[in-house]
Amino acid sequence: MRRLVIKDLEGDIENRTARISVIGQGYIGLPTSLLMAKAGFQVLGFDINEELIRELSKGRTRLDREEGIQELISSLLGERYIPTNDERDLMGSDIVLIAVPTPKNANGPDLRMVISALETALRVIREGGLIIIESTLPPGTFERIIVPTVKKHGFSIGSNIYLAYCPERALPGRLINELVNNVRVIGAIDDRSAQLTKLLYKTFVRGEIELVDPLTAEVVKLVENSFRDVNIAFANEVARICEALGIDVRKVRELANKHPRVNLLVPGIGVGGSCLTKDPLFLYWASLENGYEPIILKRARDLNANMPYHYASILDDVVRNIKNGETGTIAVLGATYKGDVPDSRESPVEPFVRELLRKGHRVKVYDPLVTEAFGGEYVSNIFEAVRGADAIAFVTDHSEFRFLNLSKLRKAVKVEDPVVLFDGRMIFNPKEVEEAGFIYISVGMSLSTHKLPIKEFITVR
């Protein structure tokens, strides 16, 4: 058994003298590190990505479009915030926070990065220190895997080490604001760990802080993202129903939302991001293991995952009809999973592009925030991207796209009629698109509803 070293961690937190290390300097780890440094702590930001640490050490960040982050780095770097990839720098940490990804694989959740980070934390933490996990944990992981790992290293939770789970609840594009103002949920198996974690988060969080058991905290995080996935799926289901019935989902949504208890979301080509594409499955798998199959979660996830393929198939049919059975050139505008967010992780644009490529089309991709093309040809200028295109697909709702001069865009195509504009995020007024010289199609509209001046035999799958 390890020898207990008596040290007043509570006092160190209150006095801002606690030495904090954050493992993982990505979308959550970096802004959390900066917020704690701003609160007065010295924070070591650790990541195994050497290039990332070199960038941060020079004051550069890949999250420069996130409001407030560049300013925080500029003011805190080298004093309160120190990036490092040397584990030795972390030795003797009073608090270690883990913020690494928890991806999925074909067999279920992939916990390797979390376990590796935990092993690192256990090597560098001082006795009587606090370890906090912010990485998403599938239900039961804390008690079945995290706790035994800690005990295996000779620690006694609540005695010579403290341990808690506090899942992040922030949306890319609003990270600083949400990390500060959102309600936080802390899960712990002992009161002392819970109270110390709450004391730390109160130094930079303005939202309420709720204390629960670890399993509840695990499930709450997954339920939040599953709720969003299911609601998006319902909007997409309505869009598919409208396509089948030959009516416009735009009008259906407008009228349905006039009901005081209805808030139908905007349908689109699918769901992306690192959370919504896996968290519902984590909850589904955990429930399935315990004897209940949550059918709605699975149906919603499958439907959202199918949307990019569905609309790639429609666009393939339209282009082939225009080209007398031949493939064509398609300009895909947008690559990130969400508008105005430079994040292409798990973007639905990837299967959309890859399916069009598989069907034989030439695909040119433009995005103002990232250079990802998913196997297509990346083009750095929107007007160059659309030149020679038989169809233009808007698949991300960037602000830049919303205010485009559509007539100028049509002239840049330099192709005779017909040229199709596919609105995969319902960001345009159909009448304005048609007045600019395009044939307008979108999600949630059958081809008969579009009144396309092309052959009637187009099959909508």
- Report the 3 state secondary structure along 177-227: HHHHHCCEEEECCCHHHHHHHHHHHCCCCCCCEEEECHHHHHHHHHHHHHH
- Spatial separation of the C-alpha atoms in residues 237 and 270, rounded to whole Å: 11
Tell me the H-state helices in 246-346: 249-256, 279-289, 295-322
Q: Identify whether 451 is a catalytic site residue.
A: no
What is the distance of C-alpha 264 from the center of its chain? 21
Whether 221 is catalytic is yes
In the set 38, 242, 275, 278, the catalytic residue is 275
Report the C-alpha gap between 133 and 57 in whole angstroms.
Answer: 24
Prior bond of 418 cis (ω within 30°): yes
Residue corresponding to tokens 């602000």: 399
- Cα(282)–Cα(279) distance, integer angstroms: 5
Q: Which of 369, 360, 368, 337 is nearest to 350 (CA)?
A: 337
Contacts of 343 (CB under 8 A, 6+ apart): 27, 172, 273, 274, 336, 337, 370
CA quadruple 344, 350, 353, 358: dihedral sign: positive
* Residue of 38, 198, 221, 338 with catalytic role: 221
Q: Which of 172, 149, 171, 170 is nearest to 161 (CA)?
A: 149
Q: Are 185 and 220 in contact (CB under 8 A)?
A: yes
DSSP 313-342: HHHHHHHHHHTTT---EEEEE--SSSTT--
- Tell me how many degrees the CA angle 378-381-444 measures, rounded to the nearest 5: 75
Strands 125-133, 93-98: pairing is: parallel
Whole-angstrom distance, CA of residue 399 vs CA of residue 325: 35
Q: What residues have CB less than 8 Å from 75, skipping those under 6 apart?
A: none
Q: What's the longest Cα–Cα distance across the chain?
A: 81
Active-site residue list: 221, 275
